[in-house]
Amino acid sequence: MAAYRPPLQDIRFVLDELVDLDELCQFESFKHVDPDSIHTAIEEFARWTAEVVAPLNRIGDLEGAVHDPETNTVRTAPGFADAYAQFRDAGWGAVPFEADYGGGGFPWLAGIVMQEIMSAANLSLSMCPLLTQGAIDMLMAHGSEAQRELFVPRMVTGQWTGTMNLTEPEAGSDVGALRTKAVPQPDGTYRITGTKIFITFGEHDMAENIIHLVLARTPDAPPGTKGISCFIVPKFLVDDDGNLGERNDVACVSIEHKMGVKASPTCVMSFGDEGGAVGYLIGNENEGMRYMFTMMNNARLSVGLEGLSIAERAYQDALEYAQERKQGRAVGAAAGVQSPIIEHADVRRMLLLMKSIIEAMRALVYTQAETIDMANHHPDPELRQYKQLMAELLTPVVKGWCTDMGVEVTSLAVQIYGGMGYIEESGVPQHYRDARITPIYEGTNGIQALDLVMRKLPLKGGEVVTEHLSLIAMLDPALLRGGAQLASIRSNLAEALTTLADTTHWVMAEGATDPRQAMAGATPYLRMFSLVTAGALMAKTALHAAERLDAGTGDADAMRAKIATATFFCAQVLPQVHGLVAPVRAGHDQLFAIGVEQFAH
């Protein structure tokens, strides 16, 4: 396995060229920082992460988290608690949160870059601050001022961590089927009883308190998602000054034995074994699902980012192996001399496929983070609304496509290793196993596809998606001016955009008259939409690289590589769009042409 090297050169390129970091730093919320300060912070965090966090990734996979059934406690893998303590004490987790609550007040974009680095270094460990981040978002958006003052500062610093408790044995993607109960008490609290499963870092030894956010039903609540409320349920009860009191009636009764991310404890949580856990209502009763959706853009961006991160880590391993492993003689090599496998055409194809997809994912993830910053902080309220709608449109794309690509890229890494890639000691199987959860949690990618076609395409009567496609079309004149070196990028993007636009009109029309038709083709449509969006970002990458070459600025070899990688993506990945038209339009009848009993041989 290669030692993880944060890809700072490409990170800087995206921050300097594809997103407008300078503009973000002009917003009132971020005037105390500047691009140089952000780059400096990222570089120092990258150094620390590579030295301290990355070496624990393999240890975590081998040792995992351990549950003690006698005490219902969880011991994290060796080194995790110390690394988290360093992370907490250095204030790294606080960087993108509001200064009023102990944060650094940096743009969310900066926090996303740091998330990428930590997730690539050690996906399991990174999931603890990631879940805390989601809990903070919920409390900041919907908690009372007293709740924010009590819980948020201690979660921002990492002194306390957070969880999200949604899933139950009979309520997975269908959250409306949950049965956990919340009974109001005379003192204004609630007593929570029920069981939650798949709770990431629901119990661990890295923080003094864990703040569980729990979805539950109050008495007489309406059925389905309309009857769900959200509650704060601390592991340890706290007084008004934040001092820890007695243990709440909540316990981890077991942890799952998983395919991957083994060092991230996935807990079965029991609430109310001794009469009911004390919970505090967030906002109003029966509005818990609405509150959950307000944090989805950030949460699903972070999971999409995990696909990018694990792909980057697998690519670095595969690249080093391809440079060192000698096998066969490449065309043109001296007789009797074995060549590094990177000299063979098919290995080159796989490496370029990995590299181009990773660069496209990074551009997509960072652009989405910038869009969220704009939606939250731009001084123009109309532009904030516009950016919010764009963020909503692209959320299923970021989550769905990047996690699918994370699995595909890690699989390619195994392939490049050949037989050794199937051997655990090589290290690359861990990346593939770790990546496989990402298309599943935070809403399966099938749900992301349905979200795109049924909820996001109709936004503002289709105006939002039309604007998105128009922005892609507006790249054409600049690509034309780029001349021969950008000609194939231009033609491939234009053809793919035409196919996407035609198919989008079909999906929207069918969705309006018979939703089953649009739903049947949702997953291939999500892939099509994602490829064209990614292709547009690769075209922008090539445009900015060409401008740098013309101006004689930057690393000329790196800029030529950027253009070559974008050309490869648009020539060999983007044209997959055309083959997806038939699956999108195949319709509902093909999927239901046989009965359930006929699936058996």
Q: How far apart are CA 118 and CA 88, in angstroms?
A: 13
Per the annotation, the verdict on 442 as an active-site residue is yes
Q: How far apart are CA 314 and CA 311, in angstroms?
A: 5
Whether the CB-CB separation of 195 and 271 falls below 8 Å is answered with: yes
Mean pLDDT of all residues belonging to the chain: 95
Render pLDDT for 467-502 as a digit per residue (tens, 0 to 9).
999 999 999 999 999 999 999 999 999 999 999 999
List, in sequence order, the alpha helices (H) in 90-223. 108-121, 123-142, 145-156
Q: How far apart are CA 340 and CA 265, in angstroms?
A: 40
pLDDT, residue 130, reads 95
Give backbone dihedrals phi and psi of 259, rounded to 5 degrees, phi first. -70, -40
Q: How far apart are CA 153 and CA 88, in angstroms?
A: 12
Whether the CB-CB separation of 523 and 455 falls below 8 Å is answered with: no
Tokens of 540: 């922008």
> How far, in Å, are 47, 174, 183 from residue 117 at the CA level?
10, 33, 43
Q: How far apart are CA 552 and CA 95, in angstroms?
A: 35
Whether the CB-CB separation of 228 and 288 falls below 8 Å is answered with: yes
Whether the CB-CB separation of 136 and 152 falls below 8 Å is answered with: yes
Render pLDDT for 243-285 as a digit per residue (tens, 0 to 9).
999 999 999 999 999 999 999 999 999 999 778 999 999 999 9
Choose the catalytic residue: 442, 467, 495, 510.
442
Residues 394, 400, 402, 408: what is their CA dihedral angle, to the nearest 10 degrees? -150
For the chain, residues with pLDDT lower than 70 are: 172-173
Q: How far apart are CA 8 and CA 10, in angstroms?
A: 6
> How far, in Å, are 16, 317, 324, 456, 582 from residue 526 at the CA level?
29, 29, 38, 11, 14
Give the 3-state secondary structure of residue 218.
coil
Q: How far apart are CA 583 and CA 591, in angstroms?
A: 11
pLDDT, residue 335, reads 82
Radius of gyration of the chain (CA): 24
Q: Which pTM value belongs to this model?
A: 0.96
Find, among 403, 364, 408, 401, the residue nearest to 527 by Cα: 401
- Centre a 10 Å sphere on the Cβ of residue 82 and count the other Cβ atoms it contains: 13
CA 416 to chain centre: 25
Tokens of 416: 């490049």
Half-sphere exposure (Cβ direction) of 87: Cα atoms closer than 13 Å: 31
List, in sequence order, the alpha helices (H) in 67-122. 80-89, 108-121
Find, among 120, 79, 97, the residue nearest to 206 by Cα: 79
pLDDT, residue 465, reads 98
